[in-house]
Structure 1
Amino acid sequence: MKLFCVKKIHFFLLFFSLSTQSQVKDLFSKPAELHTISERWELTPESSNGTFLITPYKSIYILPVDWYSSPNEQPYSGNGQPEYIAPPGTNYNNIETKFQLSFKTKILHNFIFGKGDLWVGYTQVSNWQIYNESLSRPFREINYEPEVIFNYPLNFNVLGFKMRMAGVAFNHESNGKGLPFSRSWNRIIFHLGFDRNNWSVYVRPWLRLRSQKDDNPDITQYIGRGDINIIYTNNKSIFTLTGSNNLNFNKNRGNTAVSWSYPIVGNLKGFLLVSHGFGETLIDYNNLQTTIGVGISLIGPL
């Protein structure tokens, strides 16, 4: 299972590396133009760039300083199997470096009813104990998230917002580690996209796909069964609020993250990211903590 996941990750990395230098240059030369849902997802003929061009997906950022309140020094899995019992804890620092890379490319254009598009996406989040000299500055956690996304453009009013798109994705996320630290899950994620003036809203409920050997069978009880992402642009500032919830009123859990970005020079933006809850990374899916990170971003949310 783990070898299969690693092969899939290598496939996505190879796939994206086949893009030309001009495509990468175009990605970073015009990010400021991608400030609406329609532009980011090419929902109109005017915004369409065809297929096999690498474009932004989620935010791209680096947080040289990322503080978290409860270092997860002896992670455990809810499946209760002996092979998932971790050895005595590691002395992690409370401050580390975190960065995220995220890209997507369209592989089929207008292939259903003359409108629907098929995309593949890849997101990688890395937590680096760069200040921890005693442990030789290791990467504490790296989460790999390839996915296949079907997206269909829409255009009608809902409660004062304009619904711009609807779709579904097959999403795999894993940390590529062996036992007892292995964590992974597969989801079918449904999504709706709305906007109104300076507001953009994404709603994403998901269904978790069970596997025969489950690293974390109780993950939805902590990370949740869906999330909502609200983005507000005010002059040059971009504010985001992302919340997930398990929809369990007896043992209510989830995660809330807020961010703020502001231009520094050119396309470079200052970036602040604060979160509280479960699932800041996969290894932390059942670990409650607060994080505060300060850094820069190249590509903002949408």
Structure 2
Amino acid sequence: MRLTLSNFVNYTSFMKFHYSILCILITFISYSQSVFDQDQVIEKTMSQRWELDDEDKNGTFKLTFYKPIFVLPARWSSNPNELPQSESLENSFTEVQNYDQVEAKFQLSLKTKLIQSFLFGHGDIWLGFTQLANWQVYNDPVSRPFRELNYEPELIVNFPMKVNLFGIDLRMAGLAFNHQSNGRDLPRSRSWNRIMFHAAFEKDNFQLYLKPWIRIESSDKDDNPAISEYIGRMEANAIYNKNKHSIYVIGKNSLDFDKNRGSLEINYLYSVKSNLRLHFQAFTGYGETLIDYNHKQTTLGIGISFIDW
């Protein structure tokens, strides 16, 4: 191929872009290794992650990890959502978007305790924040846009518990006010608010989180009126850790027996060094992101993970 000025500029831009991605990954890895032990896989109990027992209390306003933190440079979709729709016509696309089947996906998630041992010394209040990004990083014809960014702040009231139920321990329960949105204008805008209840169980290397919720109906215009019929009304997270291997499964369901919908996400992680892990992710169903809340697809992703549940 003949080298032209245009080709040279494109090649230079390409190399600068991938150098930036590499720098981001190195920063993540360095930070992860500086926080955690460098030779052993650090598996934290539910009490250590949520400071349930007295010996695990760490006070307030200290940032800790919340949901899994991962980077998937390659995520393939069986059915890219090129014409996002909503029951609200204002929030429906009229032109097909030129999206690639392969994009990048990453998630950041942190929490901090605002109040410790309130209500007669039995409860904690946490502030959590999660950001999920889907990036058309390989789609040069449309300037590599972020296809979707989801922001999820939540205020969590949590109560430590020690109740044995059929051989498994109920370790905590509570509720949260959860807001999720993509911060976009029309027709991309999607958002909803929920009161989420939770109960968490633990037995040896196994953890189970059950999260039913009630949607708070919007008094103004609703970006996605039927979102509960697709993403669902309940979530279950099952986590199993064994040596260098971790599996966590996230299932969501509409709890509607006539039109049963939801999603299933399976994650497998293998520890390379300490909390740096290879991460394989498979998703099928509705609502992988807010813009896809009523769009069904199957996706496969591969990358690295730094923190899991």
Normalised by the size of structure 2, how large is the TM-score? Answer: 0.86
Q: Deviations over 1:262-285 (max 9, x none)?
A: 111232110011010000000000
**2:273 is matched with which residue?**
265
| 1:52-63 equivalent positions in 2, closer than 5 A | 52-63=61-72
| Residue type of the alignment partner of 1:228 | A
Contact 2:41 2:274 in 1 (8 A): no
CA shift at 1:33, angstroms? 4.3
CA shift at 1:181, angstroms? 1.0
- 1:68 and 2:77 are equivalent in the alignment: yes
| Residue type of the alignment partner of 2:55 | E
- 1:253 and 2:261 are equivalent in the alignment: yes
Q: Deviations over 1:182-239 (max 9, x none)?
A: 0000000000010011110000000000012110110000000011000011221010
Contact 2:42 2:274 in 1 (8 A): no
**1:174 is matched with which residue?**
181
Contact 1:203 1:228 in 2 (8 A): yes
The alpha-carbon distance between structure 1 residues 25 and 236, as it changes in their structure 2 partners (threshold 3 A), is closer
Match of 1:48 among 47, 57, 63: 57
CA shift at 1:241, angstroms? 1.2
| 1:77-226 equivalent positions in 2, closer than 5 A | 77-79=86-88, 81=89, 83-212=90-219, 213-226=221-234
| Dislocated runs of 4+, deviation >6 Å | 24-27
Q: Which is higher, the Rg of structure 1 or of structure 2? A: 2
Match of 1:276 among 263, 277, 284: 284
Q: Deviations over 1:96-137 (max 9, x none)?
A: 000000000001000112120000000000000000010110
> Equivalents in 1 of 2:104, 2:133: separation in Å?
8
Identity over the aligned pairs, expressed in percent?
Answer: 50
CA shift at 1:85, angstroms? 3.0
> Equivalents in 1 of 2:256, 2:206: separation in Å?
28
3-state SS in 1 of match to 2:199:
strand
The Cα RMSD (Å) is 1.6
CA shift at 1:32, angstroms? 5.0
> Equivalents in 2 of 1:258, 1:143: separation in Å?
20
**1:13 is matched with which residue?**
none
> Equivalents in 2 of 1:184, 1:286: separation in Å?
13
Q: Deviations over 1:142-198 (max 9, x none)?
A: 000000000000001112110000010000000011011100000000000100111
CA shift at 1:87, angstroms? 2.5
Contact 2:33 2:274 in 1 (8 A): no
> Equivalents in 2 of 1:87, 1:32: separation in Å?
49
Normalised by the size of structure 1, how large is the TM-score? Answer: 0.88
User: How many residue pairs get matched?
Assistant: 276
Contact 1:27 1:56 in 2 (8 A): no
> Equivalents in 2 of 1:198, 1:121: separation in Å?
24
